[in-house]
Amino acid sequence: MSQVSHRVYGRAIRAAADLPEGFVRELPAEESHVFLVSDAVEARDGDIWAAPWFLEDYRENPVVQWAHDYEKKPVGRCVQIVLIGEQLWAEVAFDLKSAEGAEVDRQYREGFMSAVSAGVYFGAQSSWTPRRSYEKVHPWYSDGWGWVRQGITLLEFSAVPVPSLPSALKVRGVPETFEHVTADPVERLLGDEALLERLRSRLAEPATGADTSTDEGGSTDPFDDFFTLSTEAPADELDGFFS
């Protein structure tokens, strides 16, 4: 029996929180996304897709489509795809030079999308086992409808709004963007010429002992407070001095 199948049903529930052990990104996080493409657990159609997976052909043509539409150009490419245990993991770079690829990339980064869906081929090398034929203690057992499908050839996988496999989602364990974030407040100071000039002027003043020009709230110059805080406070407490 030969069959091309896509898995797109139901609705997503949550994204994976961490990269799997043994998976190393090839690109920086701001240039790629990591997805769990498949796992040997029940999907919404009652089936389970399990190893072995045949990935050789896909690695020769690692396209990432939009919603399994083979008449349109890919929106991205798969940088790497690996099978870890029963889980199929992929790193993806979207085509930022195309309007479609850039839009999909933005929607994943901003949380409007999370899911992917595998498009596969079941051929002569595939096996179909009724889930009810397993022992009741087996995790793949079901007394209802459903098959365990093994020996699967991956054709492509797609960016989709809704997956069949609830866990086929993007990893979101780290912040997506790092604009406007600087760990060291001094770096932020050096990027602001006006504040830097004030600091130069302050340092050029002759030392005259203790500063008594304060009101009830403390020093009239915020840099006095900054010099005190910077020796004892964590960086996030200094943010107000550079707003």
Q: Are 72 and 63 in contact (CB under 8 A)?
A: no
Q: Are 9 and 160 in contact (CB under 8 A)?
A: no
Residue whose C-alpha is closest to residue 15's, from 95, 119, 116: 116
For 139-194, the pLDDT digits (tens) are 999 998 899 999 999 999 999 999 999 999 999 864 444 333 344 555 555 666 77
* pLDDT at residue 5 is higher than 90: no
User: What pLDDT, on the 0 to 100 scale, is given for residue 21?
Assistant: 84
Residue at 9: amino acid letter = Y
Rounded to 10 deg, the angle between the 222-229 and 193-204 helix axes is 90
Domain residue spans in the chain? Answer: 3-159, 185-242
Residue at 90: amino acid letter = A
67-73-78 Cα angle (round to 5): 75
User: What pLDDT, on the 0 to 100 scale, is given for residue 94?
Assistant: 98
Determine the number of helices (DSSP H) and then strands (DSSP E) in the chain.
Answer: 5, 11
User: What pLDDT, on the 0 to 100 scale, is given for residue 175?
Assistant: 42
